[in-house]
Amino acid sequence: MVELSNKVKLDPWGHISVKDYGWLMRTFGIKPFNEILDKFREIAKPNRYMRRGIIFGHRDFDKRVINPLTKGEPVALLTGFMPSGKFHFGHKLTADQIIYYQRLGVKIHVVIADAEAYAVRKMDREKTIEIGLYEYIANLIALGLDPSRAVFYFQTNQKPAYYRLIQMFSRKVSLAEMEAIYGNMEPSKVISALTQAADILHVQLDDYGGYKNVIVPVGADQDPHLRLARDIADRFHNELGLERPASTYHMLQRGLDGNKMSSSKPESTIFLTDSLEVARSKLMRALTGGRATVEEQKKLGAEPWKCTVYDFYMFQLIDDDKGLQEIYDSCVSGKLLCGHCKRNAWDLLEKFLEEHQKKLEKAKDVVLKYVDPPKF
């Protein structure tokens, strides 16, 4: 567990890995997701991230998702990606959720945070646009999102009603308050945070469909943005009719070296565009929870909770809960050895990547039909 004292802010632009999800929930009042799982089961089959506690927390999910869906009222989803690097399995976790909600009838909005990538990550404009289109949007379509029923947009290519929100929000937020949420602030971060609030809240405006029930599924590191957006919604409730958005929080899958998964460390993750050769060698070198020798492992069993290959099974490769349990059991009992287990994981991953990469090539050809990229 990382020790985060109360003085340490959760920095969505930084590199703190949020391992202590309990701390996050206690400190910021995020509710455990499992408390509402049974109620949710009455209207839909929870996805595997919900069932396995990977989606561990929420705010207002019952009020803004379960209740309206039960009554047949419209729900919108808004989430986003910063196009700062290639699409990897960490991003797929969010993508899978977006697709899942679309199939439940939720109206999907996906933002490509190119303004944030430019200002905070100091990315080149052309590069972020290219990555936004051909990595993020193309992969979402290839994974099964129906682009004809989804809205994609770039932060730098929106309509005036959206930018007006950013300008208006600036009136009712103080720098001290932002520093209390984010830590040290500078103009690039102030603008990025207000822009993200506009992302989260703009779908409530009439120009954008007037959706009052909005769900924002994000990784735990994005919670500061949700807290700000909820406060802003309260302050503009009368003037603009804004309501607090609901959110869910997922754990971030660890990298293959056991540390943070990141596009800037290619060995820490598998990109969905990695060649089979590269993907295979990354997986084969991944950190496991195996023992020093085969004899020891047969005797003591291994430790799947330390194993990044097991993470892959749990997050990505096995949807069937019983199948996953069997791997866990044979791992801890010492029946399963790591070499064999990695080869099984590779068989599943290889099949997925082969099929996905074919779909991706087709998706790239249609991306421009569904989104208007910035012109400069």
Other CB atoms within a 10 A radius of the CB of residue 93 amount to 21
199 binds, among ligand SF4, ligand TRP, none (CB under 5 to 8 A by kind): ligand TRP
Map tokens 């309501």 to a residue.
Answer: 243
What is the binding site for ligand TRP (CB under 6 A)? 12, 78-82, 111, 113, 116, 196, 199-200, 216, 218, 222
Q: Can you tell me the distance from the alpha carbon of 190 to that of 178, in angstroms, rounded to the nearest whole number?
A: 8
Q: Does 341 bind ligand SF4 (CB under 6 A)?
A: yes
- If the CB atoms of residues 180 and 294 are measured against ligand SF4, the closer one turns out to be 294
Q: Does 290 bind ligand SF4 (CB under 6 A)?
A: yes
Q: Where are the alpha helices (DSSP H) in 104-174?
A: 114-119, 125-131, 138-143, 160-169
Q: Which two tokens stand for residue 264?
A: 């800037």
For 179, counting Cβ atoms within 10 Å of its Cβ (0-12 exposed, 13-18 middle, 19+ buried), the class is: middle
Pairing of strands 31-32, 55-59: antiparallel
Q: Which residues contact 187 (CB under 8 A, 6 or more apart)?
A: none
Q: Which two tokens stand for residue 240?
A: 């603009």
342 binds, among ligand SF4, ligand TRP, none (CB under 5 to 8 A by kind): ligand SF4
Q: Does 309 bind ligand SF4 (CB under 6 A)?
A: yes
Nearest one of 265, 204, 164 to 77, comparing CA atoms: 204
- If the CB atoms of residues 90 and 290 are measured against ligand TRP, the closer one turns out to be 90
Segment contacting ligand SF4 (CB under 6 A): 108-116, 156-164, 167-175, 287-295? 287-295
Q: Does 57 bind ligand SF4 (CB under 6 A)?
A: no
**Sign of the Cα pseudo-torsion (47, 97, 62, 67, in order):** negative
From candidates 178, 246, 307, 360, binder to ligand SF4 by CB under 6 A: 307
18 binds, among ligand TRP, ligand SF4, none (CB under 5 to 8 A by kind): none
Site for ligand SF4 in 342-371 (CB under 6 A): 342
Q: Which two tokens stand for residue 148?
A: 């004809």
Q: Does 304 bind ligand SF4 (CB under 6 A)?
A: yes
Instruction: For the CB of residue 330, give the shortest distance to ligand SF4 in the complex, in Å.
Output: 8
Q: Does 153 bind ligand SF4 (CB under 6 A)?
A: no
Contact between residue 70 and residue 43 where contact means Cβ atoms under 8 Å apart: yes
309 binds, among ligand TRP, ligand SF4, none (CB under 5 to 8 A by kind): ligand SF4
Q: Does 310 bind ligand SF4 (CB under 6 A)?
A: yes
Q: Can you tell me the distance from the alpha carbon of 174 to that of 197, in angstroms, rounded to the nearest whole number?
A: 14
Sites of contact with ligand SF4 (CB under 6 A):
288-290, 302, 304, 307, 309-310, 331, 336, 338, 341-342
